[in-house]
Amino acid sequence: MACAATTPKVWPSRFRPTGPLNPSAYAHNPQKLANEVHGRRMGNTAPGDGFAYRGRGLLQLTGKDSLAERKEWLRRTRAAWP
């Protein structure tokens, strides 16, 4: 979970002091933060996709496109597994 001091270091172009967004408005609100930083990119088009397709799990896949690509790859290569 990001705090107001960490957010500008991770996303400097989005959060103050160099970006337009106030980091305090997103601190301790992972859903709002993920929708802001991951929404409208990487295939995330619907409201809430940024949070729904945030990086997690062993591979840390982020974005609807990345998840779809990995799922398709697994389907293709699964037949070759012993």
Domain regions of the chain by residue span: 7-78
> Where does the pLDDT of residue 1 fall: very low under 50, low under 70, confident under 90, or very high at 90 and above?
low
Nearest to 7 by CA among 24, 65, 49: 24
- How far apart are the C-alpha atoms of 42 and 3, rounded to whole Å? 24
Indicate the pTM of the whole model.
Answer: 0.83
For tokens 């002091």, what's the residue? 17
The two most distant CA atoms of the chain are separated, in Å, by: 54
- How far apart are the C-alpha atoms of 19 and 64, rounded to whole Å? 25
- How does pLDDT run across 23-55, given as a tens digit for each residue? 999 999 999 999 999 999 999 999 999 999 999
- How far apart are the C-alpha atoms of 33 and 43, rounded to whole Å? 17
* φ, ψ at 15 (rounded to 5°): -115, 150
